[in-house]
Amino acid sequence: MADTRDYMVRAMAAGRELRAFAVTSRDLVETARQAHGTTPVVTAALGRTLSGALMMSSMLKDPDGLITVQFKGDGPIGGITATADAHGNVKGYPVQPLVALPSRPDHHLDVGRAVGKGTLTVIRDIDRDHTYNGQIAIHSGEIADDLTYYFAESEQIPSSVGLGVKVEKDCTVGAAGGFIIQLMPQASEETIARLEDNLRTCRYVTDILDEGRTPEELLQEVLKGFSLEITETLPVRFHCSCSRDRVARALKLIGRKELQELIDEKKPQELRCHFCGKRYTFSTAELEDLRDELDAERKAREEGAKAADAREAGSPAGPAGEEVPSK
Ligand SMILES: [Zn+2]
């Protein structure tokens, strides 16, 4: 994989009255665009969601944690899902990658209309055993706005989220990234007032990043006049952990009958990973192997259950592991 220039920073500002996150994500949004073949408005919606999910992942405390941000709206995109882990990996996809809409009167891509009204769900896998779900109604569908509302309504953390993706005339990604600023409980009135003033007069994220600014410089501009301390820097990338094995396992889970139907078509079957668009082809012989494995697993399970029943009934099943010969 090519080297990426994308990274994210975490910072404290105004003493410890504010915490801040910023990311530059041009390369990973371009990777996502190529993986899904998205049109500009979808590239922008997906890129904003990927960038937001990444910054939210750096709020995870557990190294095994995951965060999923999911928009389900009635707009033509149909929905967007992005999942990020605590190590700077993010993956995501739109339901419908080919949406064309006229730009807004201010010439910005009409992400809000493409997403539509519906729900925003955030699923945090806090550790292996615990998940936390928060859901709110989509406010504008512009993504950053909705995440701001999510933090306020679902987590009671006053936040400001800015996200942007610049799509070039040739449809490639020119710049992408964003910031999240959060008020700590000890934030003073003075800090709050100055922050609000900064946010009102701040330029668009896309314009700042398009000048080649770094996440640190983005925060310096948004948090002008505040002391700023960068506490963490992490490279980020678009990465999907799918593999042939995982797809094979998923194929076995679709059901014996459905698997047989694919075999009966007597042609190679191509499966596509939702998250990264990677394609996996299975020949008829390979599908038959999977079916046979499925049958063998089922048989083993049934015999295991029979043996357990027999033991429970107190029948002389012999020493453990020594099964009654089957017919
Ligand atoms: Zn994948």
Determine how β-strand 237-238 pairs with β-strand 89-94. Answer: parallel
Query: Could you tell me the distance, in angstroms and rounded to a whole number, from the CA of residue 101 to the centre of ligand 1?
Result: 28
Q: How many residues would you count in the chain?
A: 327
In DSSP terms, which residues pair with 177 in a beta bridge? 24, 164
Radius of gyration of the chain (CA): 25
Query: Could you tell me the distance, in angstroms and rounded to a whole number, from the CA of residue 143 to the centre of ligand 1?
Result: 23
Coil, strand or helix at 124: strand
Query: Could you tell me the distance, in angstroms and rounded to a whole number, from the CA of residue 34 to the centre of ligand 1?
Result: 13
At 41, list the tokens.
């408005």
> Between the CA of residue 192 and those of 163, 230, 267, 326, what are the distances in Å?
21, 20, 63, 76
**Among the four given CATH numbers 3.90.550.10, 2.30.31.20, 3.30.1330.60, 3.90.1280.10, the one describing domain 244-311:** 3.90.1280.10
Chain centre to alpha carbon of residue 286? 31
Q: What is the dihedral of CA 271, 274, 276, 281, to 10 degrees?
A: 0
CA distance 198 to 84: 29
Query: Could you tell me the distance, in angstroms and rounded to a whole number, from the CA of residue 245 to the centre of ligand 1?
Result: 12
Query: Could you tell me the distance, in angstroms and rounded to a whole number, from the CA of residue 244 to the centre of ligand 1?
Result: 10
Query: Could you tell me the distance, in angstroms and rounded to a whole number, from the CA of residue 183 to the centre of ligand 1?
Result: 36
Query: Could you tell me the distance, in angstroms and rounded to a whole number, from the CA of residue 280 to the centre of ligand 1?
Result: 10
> Between the CA of residue 243 and those of 83, 154, 278, what are the distances in Å?
17, 35, 9
Ramachandran angles phi, psi of 104, nearest 5°: -75, 165
Query: Could you tell me the distance, in angstroms and rounded to a whole number, from the CA of residue 227 to the centre of ligand 1?
Result: 41
Coil, strand or helix at 7: strand
Query: Could you tell me the distance, in angstroms and rounded to a whole number, from the CA of residue 66 to the centre of ligand 1?
Result: 16
Query: Could you tell me the distance, in angstroms and rounded to a whole number, from the CA of residue 327 to the centre of ligand 1?
Result: 44
At 198, list the tokens.
């900064």
Query: Could you tell me the distance, in angstroms and rounded to a whole number, from the CA of residue 29 to the centre of ligand 1?
Result: 15
Query: Could you tell me the distance, in angstroms and rounded to a whole number, from the CA of residue 93 to the centre of ligand 1?
Result: 10
- The answer to whether residues 180 and 55 touch, using CB atoms and an 8 Å cutoff, is yes
Query: Could you tell me the distance, in angstroms and rounded to a whole number, from the CA of residue 131 to the centre of ligand 1?
Result: 22
All residues at 6 or more sequence positions from 130 whose CB lies less than 8 Å from its CB, including other chains? none
**Under CATH, which number does the domain 7-238 receive?**
3.55.30.10
Domain boundaries, the chain: 7-238, 244-311
- The answer to whether residues 271 and 247 touch, using CB atoms and an 8 Å cutoff, is yes
Mean pLDDT of successive 10-residue segments in the chain (327 residues)? 81 95 97 96 98 95 91 97 96 96 90 97 84 94 97 94 96 97 95 95 92 95 95 96 91 89 93 91 94 90 83 55 38
CATH topology match: 7-238 vs 244-311: no
Residue 5 one-letter amino acid: R
